Amino acid sequence: MVPEASESLPAGSEKTIAIIRAQGGEDTNPFIAPSLGDVGFRKALHLALERAGLFRAALLDQNADYLLYPEVITQELIPGLKMTAVLDARYRLIEAWSKKKLWEDRILTVYDADLGEGLYGLTRARAALEGAARKNLKELVKRLAKRVETLSDRRE
């Protein structure tokens, strides 16, 4: 679910970022189709930001310069030979000390898992959902990188 680090990202900020509790996800019911849960999504987001190196540190507590609030708006699985997953997520970046919203964006991604990713329907569904999440996080890192370049140092 975590995208690989991209070599085309700008140099990282000296600031830190904390990923605040994700919202909107659903825990997977093993007897029904898989879904993206809040805890797993937050962990994947944390790893994606660590790998990207956009900040001095990516943390899972609130002791950081910036706070990132992720929210899963919708997640959908569309069955078929190619299992399709749709993930719509919103991200808000807040300056920790002032509580000022610095950036907000909504990212919609779609991923098709074909038979090569799993013959069994639930395996293909999981692959599709993980692929949609990976694409979503990759796009988040790309957009956040552009925003990090423009953030001013407000504590000086």
The pLDDT tens digits for 80-129 are 888 999 999 999 999 999 999 999 999 999 999 988 877 777 889 889 99
- Evaluate whether residue 81 is within a structural domain: yes
Pair of tokens at residue 107: 């990212």
Residue-by-residue DSSP string for 93-125: EEETTT--EEEEEEEEEEEEE-GGG-SSHHHHH
Q: Is residue 87 exposed (0-12), middle (13-18) or buried (19+ Cβ within 10 Å)?
A: buried
Q: Is residue 3 part of a domain?
A: no
Residue 57 belongs to some domain of the structure:
yes
1 inside domain: no
Q: How confident is the model at residue 58 (pLDDT cuts 50, 70, 90)?
A: very high
* CATH code for position 105: 3.40.50.10610
Q: Which domain holds residue 44?
A: 16-150
Tell me if 55 is assigned to some domain. Answer: yes
Residue linked to tokens 């999440």: 133
**For the chain, how many structural domains are there in total?**
1
